[in-house]
Chains A and B, each alone.
Chain A
Amino acid sequence: MSTSKMAAGCERVDSGHSMDKSITLPPDEIFRNLENAKRFAIDIGGSLTKLAYYSTVQHKVAKVRSFDHTAKETEGDPLYEISMQEEMSARLHFIKFENAYIETCLDFIKDHLVNTDTKVIKATGGGAHKFKDLIEKKLKLRVDKEDEMTCLIKGCNFVLRNITHEAFVYVKHADSEFRFQNTHPDIFPYLLINIGSGVSIFKVESEDTFERVGGSSIGGGTFWGLGALLTKTKRFDELLQLASKGQHTNVDMLVKDIYGGSYGSLGLTGDLIASSFGKSATPDKEFSKEDMAKSLLHMISNDIGQLACLYARLHNLTRVYFGGFFIRGHPVTMHTITYSINFFTKGEVQALFLRHEGYLGTIGAFLKGAEEDNPNQYSWGENYAGSSGLMSTSPDLNPMQRARSGTFDMLEMDRLERQLVNLPLLQDPSSYIPDTVDLSEDALAREYWLYCFEEALDGVVKRAVASQPDLPEAAERAEKFRHKYQHKLQTLRHQPFAYGSLTVRSLLDTREHCLNEFNFPDPYSKIKQGENDMALKYFQKAVKSLGELSWEQRQFALVRGLLAGNVFDWGAKAVSDVLESDPEFGFEHAKLQLEERPWLVDAYDQWLERLKGPPHKCALFFVDNSGIDIILGVFPFVRELICRGTEVVLASNSSPALNDVTNSELQILTERIAAMDLVIQSAVKEDRLTLVQSGSSSPCLDLSRLDKVLAGVVRERHVDLVIIEGMGRAIHTNYYAILSCESLKMAVIKNSWLADRLGGKLFSVVFKYEVPPGHKTTTLDHVPVTPS
């Protein structure tokens, strides 16, 4: 598949080279879901066209439905039935391609567009008027022009709000050039510096409030125009290429050329440029193209950086984003701008760049046209399966190759069913980072996990096919899934920064996106069903045996039970191997596997002390797996909390991920358990046990993107204890999350590599009990687990 590569983005006024226009478009890959497309927008720049449309995607979802159990039960009846249903969901498609292909693309769209409701196409960008007639003729849509800068800012707000790791800091010589930024819950105010042919500086204060506070005529056009005059090099990319090879000190007059060294009393170092091109005022010397291009690049980047800092200071802003064709995907300019900003602000302001900078205009134009649908009222998420991701910026790549290798770049965003917000109990939402290890910065960990996911792929494919026994083409689809995910893993091996920081979570989420793409919404549905059935049979027995223990014994048995339950996890390779080879692998067996105390991280004594004190008001429990984990581990534990007088809110995934229990499954399970157990029954009845959706469909947990309803419940109930269970939610993510209330993070390390890293061994236990500083109950010494 050679289609999903980003073209080196540079705007050309005159076409520098001709390109083969007669391409065949692979429709499966590029203009997807066109048949349901509506609301088009287009942004035509100097060389690249960006097209946007909205479509509805039909896909399968797994639904569970409880059987009527009022009738007499027979042994062997499954607890609930699973059915596949078709559902529609909304998706935004953004495609970027060279202007040379515009006619081919319009023809393709015309041929595949079934929907006829659409009458208008929103357009923006300098090239919009040039192609107006062509668009109107081909698509029979009226071209409606929108202001370029307004679109840019609307688009910027949208990506900052909806795409995680959208913004990054560029660090040239680091292991990972891209340092992705945490999305601040409040994206405003910020400064947006658009470096097109000139420079425009915008101060953005809210969704609809922004102003152009300043600008400069020295911009990308100056670099290109002056560069072309000085070096006779026509193309923007080639100029940058020249610049990256030059020595500016041959052309510029440095402080040391004037002073012989540094200007100490002012703190100006000798290498500082005192006068750009100051050495070239001599008739008897030749200067190389490379050196002049480099000097010019420094001159312009420094000048823009200086102006940006002056405006940032004037408006007292520290978040400064850069965009425009001068920046777009060019490591050379990102580096010089970053350097300049650091110099002029002494590090107080960081230059921020955006992964989807090239799409801002078209996103904004699209949003303008879709105002009546209220797109900003929803939360959206980047679909990793349908998006190309950030491409390599390797400067070694010849610009001609870069321009031709990739033709089409795509971004797809799903409208999420739930509006997502922060967990109100995060100590500091702006510094919260869900992921424990950033694989883009840790090459060893990256290699291991990529290998791990590749190894696990066969099993996932097998289960995906098994989950749809009635559909004969499932095998073929599963192979397509395999191909796609394998390709994603390959891409991530070379470009770990493609979708922001690479993490175990993003690898898992990418797999879920790919599974959904090929209509495998719930490969584990059958397995979960079987495990739930089986575990339910032991529930009463388990509760009874716990009841026979002394209070102190019982507390320990509950924690051990919860941990043992957590061993049952198809997501962990070590366990899925055992589970597959030995289906009889039982609960008791799991308990034997557990590490003896003291555990790897062991705050059990403190927890026990706490339990001797007053009960918690309300506990929020993020649950993990189906079957033994939820039924024999979590429920008895929750039951004890309820008996203590603590209300419990169980938060489970909104949609399936691995064998994690989903909200709809948990509802059925809770009903069934309530029917067997009076404590649970009355708690449900009296609203002391509540089920909520997390808003997530990931085996990991991002506490900054949770269902708005959940956040409401947390506030209403005055949650004072958060329990996070399992490797995905408590180790891969949230291990270092700091909450403003007591928290319990429990997991069994079911991966020997990770265990090794944490200084433990397979089936080591993490039992982390944390009390925020200054809290009434005793503060504890935490055992830090630092991946070495």
Chain B
Amino acid sequence: MKKSFPWFGMDIGGTLVKLVYFEPKDITAEEEQEEVENLKSIRRYLTSNTAYGKTGIRDVHLELKNLTMCGRTGNLHFIRFPTQAMHRFIQMGSDKNFSSLHTTLCATGGGAYKFENDFRTMADLELLKLDELDCLIHGLLYVDSVRFNGHPECFYLENPSDTQNSVKTPCSLADPFPMLLVNIGSGVSILAVYSKDDYKRVTGTSLGGGTFLGLCCLLTGCETFEEALDMASRGDSSNVDKLVRDIYGGDYERFSLQGSAVASSFGHMMSKQKRDSISKEDLARAMLVTITNNIGSIARMCAVNEKIERVVFVGNFLRINTVSTKLLAYAMDFWSKGQLKALFLEHEGYFGAVGAFLELLKSSEEP
């Protein structure tokens, strides 16, 4: 028996909900006639809009076209909205009588557990809860294998040591194992992945995307990730950070530290004078650099300890975030003297949702 539509996969994180939706493009006239009204309206609502409510957004540029899955052909859509809007979303599911569609709602991420009861009581929906790290890995490997509309999903930065001129270069994950997978969401999880189903969580850090945004909001009064990144792109962190040369006048030769290296993040802010003279943009930039470098440093240490040379960075922190992408590529390369390679993926934060979606299809194949 074929799995009935609609096909969704959902990843409910600490900050963002990621939703993938499969839009069948091979619907026959017969089917169209049989399609119940609310299923049709869901399909139309999702595919004819790129923004939903105040905060929901469809990442049109990420859409995967002409996928064939379980004998059906269609497009995979990528939608996100803040976790804060979760109750509104559930309410909508209730209003649209989603439960009458008898679909399985596959969900991963912490919210699958946190909101399970709300789905049940508010919308009469049962969630199929899935482990987020399983989903992340399965989704990542799947998207890499189907490629991004004919192009590679994966890329790295050529010439990472020169952050001004590093070039985004597509590549294939062809032989992906072992890899160190660094997932930067609100917090950070670092996994050593040896095969599709053999992995371990090496460590994690609470200094992640949530920290960047949270501190930026407190320091600059900004409200969104986009705003924070925009400010950061215009700021200069050396007004905020204390560099090696600020302490030693130049390089610290005794320990071969470059004068331009950051000695103390926000170190200049110990001085009132300096606090009074910096801009919000500088603060946002310093925040971004601090968080990014710290993740890079921990990832690098893990890679060395686990003896893995390929470091794959994913997660929504990297969305539209070229500053961090370049910094991570640079950090991996520079501190390992070229031993480590940083890889990135186009669908950054959606792999968990894709993984959940794949589980839905898998469950339909079983008798």
Q: Is the CB of A224 within 8 A of B269?
A: yes
In the assembled complex, A342 has its CB within 8 A of some CB on chain B:
no
In the assembled complex, B176 has its CB within 8 A of some CB on chain A:
no
CA distance A13 to B242 in the complex (A): 12
Interface centre among A150, A229, A259, A278 (most CB of B within 10 A): A278
| A contact residues around B257 at 8 Å (CB) | 212
B interface secondary structure, majority: helix
| B contact residues around A274 at 8 Å (CB) | 14, 110, 186-187, 206, 210
Within 8 A of A (CB), among B101-129: 109-111, 113-116
| A contact residues around B211 at 8 Å (CB) | 275-278, 299
In the assembled complex, B359 has its CB within 8 A of some CB on chain A:
no
Q: Is the CB of B14 within 8 A of A229?
A: no
CA distance A258 to B213 in the complex (A): 17
- Distance from A190 Cβ to chain B, minimum over Cβ atoms (Å): 18
In the assembled complex, A265 has its CB within 8 A of some CB on chain B:
yes
Q: Is the CB of B14 within 8 A of A278?
A: yes
| B contact residues around A228 at 8 Å (CB) | 269-270, 272, 275
Which of B133, B205, B217, B270 is close to A225, meaning CB atoms less than 8 Å apart? Answer: B270
Using an 8 Å CB-CB cutoff, how does the interface string of B282-322 with A read, 1 for contact, 0 for none? 01000000100110011001101100000000000000000
Q: Is the CB of A307 within 8 A of B297?
A: yes
Q: Is the CB of B304 within 8 A of A279?
A: no
Q: Is the CB of B266 within 8 A of A147?
A: no
CA distance A106 to B65 in the complex (A): 79
Which of A252, A265, A307 is close to B131, meaning CB atoms less than 8 Å apart? Answer: A265
When A234-B272, A276-B207, A303-B205 are in contact, do A314 and B305 touch as well, CB less than 8 Å? yes
Q: Is the CB of A277 within 8 A of B214?
A: yes
In the assembled complex, B43 has its CB within 8 A of some CB on chain A:
no
Q: Is the CB of B301 within 8 A of A311?
A: yes
When A258-B13, A306-B203 are in contact, do A226 and B297 touch as well, CB less than 8 Å? no
In the assembled complex, A292 has its CB within 8 A of some CB on chain B:
yes
| B contact residues around A266 at 8 Å (CB) | 133, 201
Q: Is the CB of B207 within 8 A of A258?
A: no
CA distance A279 to B187 in the complex (A): 12
Q: Is the CB of A229 within 8 A of B302?
A: no
In the assembled complex, A585 has its CB within 8 A of some CB on chain B:
no
Using an 8 Å CB-CB cutoff, how does the interface string of A262-285 with B read, 1 for contact, 0 for none? 010110000001111111111100
Q: Is the CB of A198 within 8 A of B14?
A: no
Which of A219, A283, A310 is close to B305, meaning CB atoms less than 8 Å apart? Answer: A310
Using an 8 Å CB-CB cutoff, how does the interface string of B254-280 with A read, 1 for contact, 0 for none? 110100011111111111110100000
Using an 8 Å CB-CB cutoff, how does the interface string of A111-139 with B read, 1 for contact, 0 for none? 00000000000000010000000000000
Q: Is the CB of B210 within 8 A of A13?
A: no
In the assembled complex, A218 has its CB within 8 A of some CB on chain B:
yes
Q: How many A-B residue pairs have CB under 8 A?
A: 195
Using an 8 Å CB-CB cutoff, how does the interface string of A212-243 with B read, 1 for contact, 0 for none? 10101111111011101110001000000000
| B contact residues around A261 at 8 Å (CB) | 113
- Distance from A108 Cβ to chain B, minimum over Cβ atoms (Å): 31
Q: Is the CB of B270 within 8 A of A306?
A: no
CA distance A221 to B207 in the complex (A): 17
Closest residue of chain B to A16, judged by CB?
A: B272
- Distance from A199 Cβ to chain B, minimum over Cβ atoms (Å): 9
| A contact residues around B301 at 8 Å (CB) | 214, 307, 310-311, 314
When A259-B110, A283-B217 are in contact, do A299 and B207 touch as well, CB less than 8 Å? yes
CA distance A292 to B262 in the complex (A): 24
CA distance A126 to B221 in the complex (A): 35
A interface secondary structure, majority: mixed
CA distance A287 to B223 in the complex (A): 15
| B contact residues around A219 at 8 Å (CB) | 264-265
In the assembled complex, B349 has its CB within 8 A of some CB on chain A:
no
| B contact residues around A225 at 8 Å (CB) | 240, 264-270
In the assembled complex, B92 has its CB within 8 A of some CB on chain A:
no
Closest residue of chain A to B14, judged by CB?
A: A258
Closest residue of chain A to B111, judged by CB?
A: A258
In the assembled complex, B171 has its CB within 8 A of some CB on chain A:
no
Q: Is the CB of B298 within 8 A of A310?
A: yes
- Distance from B353 Cβ to chain A, minimum over Cβ atoms (Å): 16
Q: Is the CB of A276 within 8 A of B214?
A: yes
- Distance from A484 Cβ to chain B, minimum over Cβ atoms (Å): 40
| A contact residues around B255 at 8 Å (CB) | 149, 200, 211-212
In the assembled complex, A14 has its CB within 8 A of some CB on chain B:
yes
Q: Is the CB of B263 within 8 A of A198?
A: yes
Give the interface size class of chain A: 35 or more
In the assembled complex, A344 has its CB within 8 A of some CB on chain B:
yes
| A contact residues around B297 at 8 Å (CB) | 214, 216, 307
CA distance A311 to B272 in the complex (A): 34
When A230-B218, A273-B206 are in contact, do A278 and B186 touch as well, CB less than 8 Å? yes
Q: Is the CB of B114 within 8 A of A197?
A: no
Which of A260, A302, A314, A344 is close to B110, meaning CB atoms less than 8 Å apart? Answer: A260
- Distance from A228 Cβ to chain B, minimum over Cβ atoms (Å): 6
In the assembled complex, B247 has its CB within 8 A of some CB on chain A:
yes
CA distance A217 to B269 in the complex (A): 13
In the assembled complex, A257 has its CB within 8 A of some CB on chain B:
yes
In the assembled complex, B9 has its CB within 8 A of some CB on chain A:
no
In the assembled complex, A62 has its CB within 8 A of some CB on chain B:
no
Q: Is the CB of A222 within 8 A of B267?
A: yes
Q: Is the CB of B254 within 8 A of A147?
A: yes
- Distance from B182 Cβ to chain A, minimum over Cβ atoms (Å): 14
Q: Is the CB of A217 within 8 A of B265?
A: yes
In the assembled complex, A404 has its CB within 8 A of some CB on chain B:
no
| A contact residues around B268 at 8 Å (CB) | 225
Q: Is the CB of B254 within 8 A of A281?
A: no
| A contact residues around B273 at 8 Å (CB) | 14
Q: Is the CB of B263 within 8 A of A275?
A: no
CA distance A275 to B269 in the complex (A): 23
CA distance A280 to B207 in the complex (A): 13
CA distance A292 to B330 in the complex (A): 32
Q: Is the CB of B15 within 8 A of A281?
A: yes
Q: Is the CB of A217 within 8 A of B264?
A: yes
When A149-B254, A226-B269 are in contact, do A197 and B218 touch as well, CB less than 8 Å? no
In the assembled complex, B208 has its CB within 8 A of some CB on chain A:
yes
Closest residue of chain A to B189, judged by CB?
A: A266
Q: Is the CB of B298 within 8 A of A259?
A: no
Closest residue of chain B to A298, judged by CB?
A: B206
Closest residue of chain B to A197, judged by CB?
A: B264
- Distance from B289 Cβ to chain A, minimum over Cβ atoms (Å): 9
CA distance A303 to B116 in the complex (A): 32
- Distance from A289 Cβ to chain B, minimum over Cβ atoms (Å): 11
Q: Is the CB of A280 within 8 A of B13?
A: no
In the assembled complex, A255 has its CB within 8 A of some CB on chain B:
yes
Q: Is the CB of A279 within 8 A of B110?
A: no
CA distance A172 to B100 in the complex (A): 57
In the assembled complex, B153 has its CB within 8 A of some CB on chain A:
no
CA distance A572 to B270 in the complex (A): 57
Q: Is the CB of A281 within 8 A of B217?
A: yes
- Distance from B221 Cβ to chain A, minimum over Cβ atoms (Å): 8
Q: Is the CB of A198 within 8 A of B206?
A: no
In the assembled complex, B215 has its CB within 8 A of some CB on chain A:
yes
When A274-B187, A275-B214, A287-B218 are in contact, do A307 and B298 touch as well, CB less than 8 Å? yes
23 contacts between A and B (CB under 8 A): A13-B270, A126-B247, A197-B242, A198-B264, A217-B293, A219-B265, A221-B265, A222-B264, A222-B266, A228-B275, A229-B275, A253-B14, A258-B114, A260-B113, A274-B14, A277-B211, A278-B208, A278-B210, A279-B214, A280-B214, A281-B217, A307-B298, A344-B203
Excluding A258-B109, A279-B214, A314-B301, 5 further A-B contacts by CB distance (< 8 Å) are A196-B264, A217-B267, A221-B265, A221-B269, A313-B305
3 nearest A-B residue pairs (beta carbon) = A225-B269, A275-B210, A258-B110
Residues of A near any B CB (own CB < 8 A): 13-14, 126, 147, 149-150, 196-198, 200, 211-212, 214, 216-222, 224-226, 228-230, 234, 251-253, 255, 257-261, 263, 265-266, 273-283, 287, 292, 299, 302-303, 306-307, 310-311, 313-314, 344
Residues of B near any A CB (own CB < 8 A): 13-15, 109-111, 113-116, 131, 133, 185-187, 201, 203, 205-211, 213-219, 221, 223, 240-242, 247, 254-255, 257, 261-273, 275, 283, 290, 293-294, 297-298, 301-302, 304-305
